[in-house]
C-alpha cells in the first residue's frame, strides 16, 4: 500500500521532527513518509535536519506572503501541489485559521507539552507551558497529541502520556523530560495511527 505523504511544519530546532525521522528509520512510523518540511522561520535548525536526511524543505513567512491569509494560501498551494495527505505540527508557532484547518479535516495533528485541557490554548507554548505547570504546583504533567482545528489546542485528543514532576524541577529541566519521556514517544505513534486510518480511507 502506498505510504501517506507527510509534511512537517516547524518553527525552531526540530527535535520533534528528529523524533519522527528516527521513528521512520526504525519502523515505528511505517505507513507514512515525510516528504516535505516547511518552516515559518528563516534559518530554523529544523531545516538542517531535513537537509541531513534528504527531505525537501522550504521557508514561508507571513511577512513575505503579506500576512496570514497570503501565508496560508501559499502554504496550501505548496502542500496540495505535492499531494500532501497529512500535516504534522512539530513546534510550529503559528496559529492556523479555520479556512486552513477546514481544508485538511482530521489531517493535521499537533503535539502539546501538557496534558490537555491543562495549560493549553492561546499563549501557552514552549517554556511558558512548563512555567505554568510548576507555578500551579501540579504533580503530574505530560504531553498530548491532538487533531488540529481552528481553536488552539482544541481538537480531538489522540494520545496522552503523563510525566511526573520532580523536586527542584526548573522549566528547562521539565521541558526536556517531557520531550524525552512523552513528546518524542507519542508523536510518532500518533502519526502512525493517523496514517493507518488515512490508508484505509483511500
| Ramachandran category for residue 54: left, alpha or beta (phi over 0 → left; psi -120 to 50 → alpha) | left
Burial label, 33 (beta-carbon count in 10 A; 0-12, 13-18, 19+): middle
* CA proximity to 35, closest of 1, 101, 84: 84
- Catalytic positions are 112
- Would you state the pLDDT for residue 82? 98
Number of domains in the chain: 1
Q: Residue 161: give the domain boundaries.
A: 4-201
pTM for the complete prediction?
A: 0.96
- Tell me the pLDDT tens digit for each residue of 114-170: 999 999 999 999 999 999 999 999 999 999 999 999 999 999 999 999 999 999 999
Whose cell is 502539546? That residue is: 112
Residue 61 sits in a domain whose CATH number is 3.40.50.170
Which helix (H) or strand (E) segment holds residue 112: the answer is strand 108-112
Amino acid at each position: 500500500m502506498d505510504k501517506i505523504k507527510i509534511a512537517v511544519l516547524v518553527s525552531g530546532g526540530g527535535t520533534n521532527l528528529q523524533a519522527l525521522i528516527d521513528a521512520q528509520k526504525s519502523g515505528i512510523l511505517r505507513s507514512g513518509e515525510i516528504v516535505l518540511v516547511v518552516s515559518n522561520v528563516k534559518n530554523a535548525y529544523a531545516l538542517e535536519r531535513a537537509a541531513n536526511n534528504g527531505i525537501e524543505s522550504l521557508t514561508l513567512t507571513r511577512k513575505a506572503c503579506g500576512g496570514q491569509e497570503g501565508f496560508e494560501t501559499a502554504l496550501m498551494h505548496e502542500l496540495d501541489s505535492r499531494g500532501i495527505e497529512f500535516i504534522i505540527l512539530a513546534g510550529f508557532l503559528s496559529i492556523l485559521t479555520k479556512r486552513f484547518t477546514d481544508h485538511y479535516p482530521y489531517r493535521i495533528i499537533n503535539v502539546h507539552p501538557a496534558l490537555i485541557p491543562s495549560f493549553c490554548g492561546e499563549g501557552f507554548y514552549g517554556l511558558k507551558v512548563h512555567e505554568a505547570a510548576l507555578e500551579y504546583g501540579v504533580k503530574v504533567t505530560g504531553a498530548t497529541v491532538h487533531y488540529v482545528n481552528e481553536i488552539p489546542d482544541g481538537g480531538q485528543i489522540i494520545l496522552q502520556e503523563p510525566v511526573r514532576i520532580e523536586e527542584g524541577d526548573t522549566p528547562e529541566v521539565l521541558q526536556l523530560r517531557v520531550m524525552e519521556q512523552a513528546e518524542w514517544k507519542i508523536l510518532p505513534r500518533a502519526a502512525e495511527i493517523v496514517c493507518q486510518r488515512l490508508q484505509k480511507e483511500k
